[in-house]
Amino acid sequence: MERSFTTSHTTGTHEGAAVGKLHGKAQFFIGQDGDGNKVHVEVELREGDLSDRHLVYETVEHSKVLNPLTVTVTHDVYEAGRQDPISAGAGTDPIRDVVAFTPGWDQEKATKLAAMADRWHNNTLRAGCAHQRVVWEGDSPHNMRPSLDKAPPCPHTGYRYGRAWLAEVLPPDVEAYFRGLIEQASM
């Protein structure tokens, strides 16, 4: 199984920009889709934002938290014989499209990863609070987006949807799940 693993460290600066504290990062080759394309996944846990400052975040519940962990799950899809990905990003369809798994991966594990990524990817970049519902707008079903103006304000604080990035703190079991994936890469 192709994989790589990075342990906790402060990454310092890159081209003049500080990049915060990395708690773990793993890259997995999980298998091939129905067209024979190789699907790679990267899972990362990072504390705070892209700086080494101690930042206080507002949560989706309107409490304050210092440097919460952010989880990111991204994919790269490679066509046979190509070095550049034909697809890359945070979408989870490529994970769900895998039909031939590498050792250590199966349909159940891939489906769980996709569901967890759908729910928790970029958990510190929530546009709405826990008390709001998203109001969608657009001129067609394929052109829908969250409305910054039509969503009602939070009934508890008056927060307007999309006016800040709010953090959704990872519950202990979710943090443990992602840490387990990262630790699996070190084995």
What is the full DSSP assignment across 13-81?
Answer: EETTEE--EEEEEEEEEEEEETTS-EEEEEEEEEESSSSSS--EEEBTTS-EEES-EEEEEEEEEE-TT
For residue 56, what pLDDT band results from cuts at 50, 70 and 90?
confident
Q: Sketch the domain layout of the chain as residue ranges.
A: 3-124+167-184, 127-164
161-184 per-position pLDDT tens digit: 999 999 999 999 999 999 999 998
Which amino acid would we find at residue 104?
G
Please tell me the predicted confidence (pLDDT) of residue 16: 41
The pLDDT of 106-130, averaged and rounded, is: 96
